[in-house]
Amino acid sequence: CISECSSTSDIENENENSDNEVVPPHCHITLKCTREIAGFNGLGEAVRRLDFRSSVRDGRRFNYVCALLRLLVSGKGITSLPGGAQRLLLQMLEEVATYVSDSQQNINVLRGLVQQLRALLNQENQKCWGKPLGSQSLWAEHVQTIQRIQDIASQIEIKEPGPNIRPKLHDLPEECVREIILRITDYKDLEASASAWSLMAALISEQRVWRELSHYHFTKQQIDVILEKMCLQDTKERHRNWQAIYHALRKMYGVREELQYTEILAFCRLCRCLFWPSAGHPCIVDQCPDFRQRVQEAGNSNNNETQPVPPAKFLQYFSLIALSSTGMAAAPVIIPSVAKHTSTLIFLHGLGDTGHGWATSMGALRTPDMKVICPTAPNMPVTMNGGFRLNSWFDLKSISISDPEDEEGIKKATRYVHELIQSEMKSGILSNRIVLGGFSQGGALALYAGLTFAEPLAGVMALSCWLPLHKSFPGVRKCPDTVPVLQCHGDCDPIVFYKFGQLSSSVLKSFMKNSHFQTYQGLGHSSCDAELSDMKKFVDDHVPRQ
């Protein structure tokens, strides 16, 4: 948690220095303090002192700031903050949207944040009989800010540089392009760049690129372990497949989080201060040259006087430990039946959400004898979100019918859903009294899992989604062709386009006899009362109370 950042002495000192020199952004913190102190001090002041809003427009710090915002927007982080801090963070999100729009870069990062904001809106609007807790006027202001962010995101169009802009990447000599590629530190960016142009693909296939990437992310000892495991210790350098070696290293050791960012906040052990390394900070050593020697004499020497502070660690200083940073899926939200349990509704949330986001709405749909299960997806890196972690059922490279899909991830998530269904069947619930549903990415998984489950389900409800791995159908279908399918889609959806839902419906109707596609005029990537009413009718019709 943070120490008294806004203390009078600090402000006075900064005012005195302002006439002579600019003081770099920094913030002193206190470690291992009590919850009372953590509550007294605020995150908002630290964000101001570290100049996060300006950092959004610094290419070195952009991804770090976005990762921090992502953690705060997911779960209940942002809603647990004071109103002023909430307002500041939403202003930062609006600044991100404006910067992305101006720079025409990092579009997928913004789309991921916008999707999380929608999930936050849905989650908060379901509280307290449809009203979010806290100040209604403040929440109305937040809604307006979120709407502006969504409007900015929906209006972004990537424009090709004009003919007078020189030089373009294609105009650069091959050696210059190679040097650019050698500075890319994320393998996902390398693989994506390979599809841009034939020369890029040829350069990225060079073993030197992957050798440099391996040595950047991993130690010599780690590399030696993998070489020995792959029986490549005695193989000549030119015969080694460094791309395969890198992926083996990544799977065994993982990639250190601090290497995902061009610049990451640092913590000075000597003066207990957070700062940006490129800007530095007024360290106590500069003011008192013999301080380091006194620390060493006291037996507290440490070779690493500074340490990197990943976004999740930054939040821990404020007792805001983000659950989504652990990489573990939370336990499913379960709403028990009111009467004797004879049926079950399993509903899967969308990207970046949790089981809590839909539990209230699904609870309102159930019949008295129906149990509701709303699981939470595991936390994983998502390609379309810049490689940063989100609650996600599988990886998403983009939301498009033609782009490559995470087949392995989809099938792994499908096995998990099948296990949930089988667990209900083992407890005595017939498969034809189990409804499977989902929204967005969760709806896509519900479709695939329902169609590939051998026993007949009561029905599948797929909201604002698409049919994943559509080319594999009807070959992989295992369910009877009479299983009812309800697809619901808004015709103004800016995330999963309406036409994707229509195309998926056409594929489904070619091999499923009881598939219905329902359109909601003016609806974006969210739900509405009419849709929930149609879902309730679907449940009542296909799972009558016993």
Active site residues: 440, 493, 525
Distance CA 351, CA 445 (A): 11
304: enclosing H helix or E strand:
none
CA distance 146 to 86: 12
Q: Judge contact between 367 and 343, C-beta under 8 A.
A: yes
Q: What b-and-e string marks burial along 81-96, b requiring 16 or more CB atoms within 10 Å of the CB?
A: beeebbbbbbebbbbb
Can you tell me the distance from the alpha carbon of 384 to that of 396, in angstroms, rounded to the nearest whole number?
6
Residue 530 tokens read as 């009419």
What are the structure tokens assigned to 256, written together?
Answer: 């250190």
Tell me how far apart the alpha carbons of residues 120 and 441 are, in angstroms, rounded to a whole number: 16
Question: 520 forms bridges with which residues in the sheet?
Answer: 490
d(CA 117, CA 131): 17
Cis peptide bond N-terminal to 25, omega within 30: no
Q: Letter for the amino acid at 265?
A: L
Q: Is the peptide bond preceding residue 167 cis, with omega within 30 degrees of 0?
A: yes
Distances (CA, A) of 398 to 204, 466, 468: 22, 12, 12
For strand 459-463 and strand 343-348, is the pairing parallel, antiparallel, or unpaired?
unpaired
**Which position has the token pair 């839909």?**
358
Dihedral angle computed from the Cα positions of residues 149, 154, 155 and 157, in that order, rounded to the nearest 10 degrees: 120
Give the separation between CA 387 and CA 99, rounded to whole angstroms.
19
477-508 b/e (C-beta count within 10 Å ≥ 16 → b): bebeeebbbbbbbbeebbbbbbebbeebbebb
Burial class from Cβ neighbours inside 10 Å (0-12, 13-18, 19+) for residue 203 reads buried
Of 327, 320, 315, the closest CA to residue 390 belongs to 327
Cβ(434)–Cβ(421) under 8 Å? yes
Identity at 343, one-letter amino acid code: S
Enumerate the β-bridge partners of residue 333. Answer: 374
Per-residue tokens: 463? 């909201």
β-bridge pairing 370-374 and 333-335: antiparallel
User: With contact defined as beta carbons under 8 Å apart, do 362 and 532 qualify?
Assistant: no
- Collapsing DSSP to helix, strand or coil, 490 comes out as strand
The answer to whether 449 and 418 have CB atoms below 8 angstroms apart is yes
